């Protein structure tokens, strides 16, 4: 964790997420919110999680039940202490502290802000001895039923994962996906198209596209995928749904900008 005291005073910049915690030398803030009682001399932070010699925080919120001595961030989405596991949406109910393990860095790329700084949101696969969980910033972490914890891996993109039996998208089983031959169709962040040896998928469902001619429409220098465009010999697609040629060209021109 980083020491707030190593930073310059009053260096908050809304375009730089790493400055969200800042101090005027007397008080500590999260963006524009005062963290009441926080000590700038002992304040340390990592992403949205922070603590001083008396309190623990998740963003602007004081985690009143957190144990300062054992509290530590695990990734961008999760933190832990001797008693609980925490996320931005609260505690993980019934998590086994001793075996709790994060499976990725806990972040999914949203895009880039006006000065080119990447912006992330909270997506993560985790597991303990009893369950595999998925957090996609929609409420609290959800248990993935039928997941095999021993073989379960995250693909580190905040969306896809797999185990010996299934492939998962957004924490849900991708029906009919063959685990052995399945792969994503692009390494560029935020691309939700994938395939196995016989089928094409978008997100966690199969799309009836022509396998041999299906291809993604991604600008050559793209840092992330925004419009989820694709095409085959018969149709044009956005977000896995068939669209008109006119709409495809409209979104394609926007993506090139």
Write out pLDDT tens, residues 24-50. 999 999 999 999 999 999 999 999 999
Q: Average pLDDT, stretch 45-60?
A: 96
Rounded to whole angstroms, how far apart are CA atoms 71 and 55?
10
Integer angstrom CA distances of residue 56 from 27, 123, 148, 164: 15, 22, 33, 38
Dihedral pair phi/psi, residue 70, rounded to 5°: -110, 0
**Residue 231: is its pLDDT beyond 70?**
yes
The answer to whether 192 and 159 have CB atoms below 8 angstroms apart is yes
Q: Decide if 128 contacts 100 (C-beta within 8 A).
A: yes
**pLDDT (0 to 100) of residue 257:** 55
Task: Tell which wins on pLDDT, 180 or 188.
Answer: 180
DSSP conformation class of 187: -
Which residues have a Cβ under 8 Å from the Cβ of 162 and sit 6 or more positions away?
Answer: 152, 153, 155, 168, 179, 182
Q: What is the rounded CA–CA span in Å between residue 25 and residue 35?
A: 13
* Distance from C-alpha of 198 to C-alpha of 54, rounded to nearest angstrom: 57
Counting residues of the chain whose pLDDT is more than 90, the rounded percentage is 79
Q: Which residues pair with 205 in a beta bridge?
A: 202
Mean pLDDT of all residues belonging to the chain: 93
- Does the pLDDT of residue 256 top 70, yes or no? no
- What is the spatial distance between Cα 97 and Cα 86, in angstroms, rounded to a whole number? 11
In whole angstroms, how large is the CA radius of gyration of the chain? 21
The pLDDT > 70 percentage for the chain reads: 98
On the question of pLDDT at 189 being above 90, the answer is no
Q: What is the pLDDT of residues 115-171, one digit of tens each?
A: 889 888 899 999 999 999 999 988 889 999 999 999 999 999 989 999 999 999 999
Predicted confidence band at 227 (pLDDT cuts at 50, 70, 90)? confident
Q: Looking at residue 116, what is its pLDDT?
A: 87
Handedness of CA 207, 211, 213, 216 (dihedral sign): positive
pLDDT one-digit tens code per residue, 89-125: 889 989 999 999 999 999 988 888 888 898 888 999 9
Question: Is 0.75 topped by the overall pTM?
Answer: yes
CA distance 151 to 218: 32
């Amino acid at each position: 964790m980083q020491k707030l005291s190593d930073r310059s005073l009053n260096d908050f910049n809304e375009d730089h997420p790493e400055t969200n915690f800042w101090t005027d030398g007397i008080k500590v803030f999260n963006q524009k919110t005062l963290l009441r009682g926080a000590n700038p001399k002992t304040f340390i932070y990592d992403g949205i999680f922070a603590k001083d010699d008396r309190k623990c925080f998740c963003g602007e919120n004081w985690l009143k039940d957190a144990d300062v001595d054992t509290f530590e961030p695990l990734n961008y989405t999760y933190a832990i202490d001797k008693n609980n596991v925490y996320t931005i949406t609260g505690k993980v109910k019934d998590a086994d502290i001793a075996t709790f393990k994060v499976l990725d860095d806990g972040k999914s790329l949203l895009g880039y802000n006006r000065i080119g700084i990447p912006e992330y949101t909270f997506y993560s696969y985790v597991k303990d001895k009893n369950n595999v969980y998925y957090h996609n910033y929609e409420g609290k972490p959800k248990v993935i039923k039928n997941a095999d914890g021993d073989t379960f891996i995250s693909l580190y993109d905040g969306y896809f994962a797999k185990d010996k039996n299934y492939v998962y998208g957004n924490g849900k089983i991708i029906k009919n996906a063959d685990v052995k031959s399945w792969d994503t169709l692009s390494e560029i962040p935020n691309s939700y198209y994938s395939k196995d040896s016989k089928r094409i998928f978008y997100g966690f469902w199969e799309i009836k596209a022509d396998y041999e001619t299906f291809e993604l429409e991604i600008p050559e220098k793209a840092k992330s995928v925004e419009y989820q465009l694709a095409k085959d010999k018969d149709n044009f697609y956005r977000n896995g749904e068939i669209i008109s040629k006119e709409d495809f060209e409209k979104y394609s021109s926007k993506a090139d900008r």
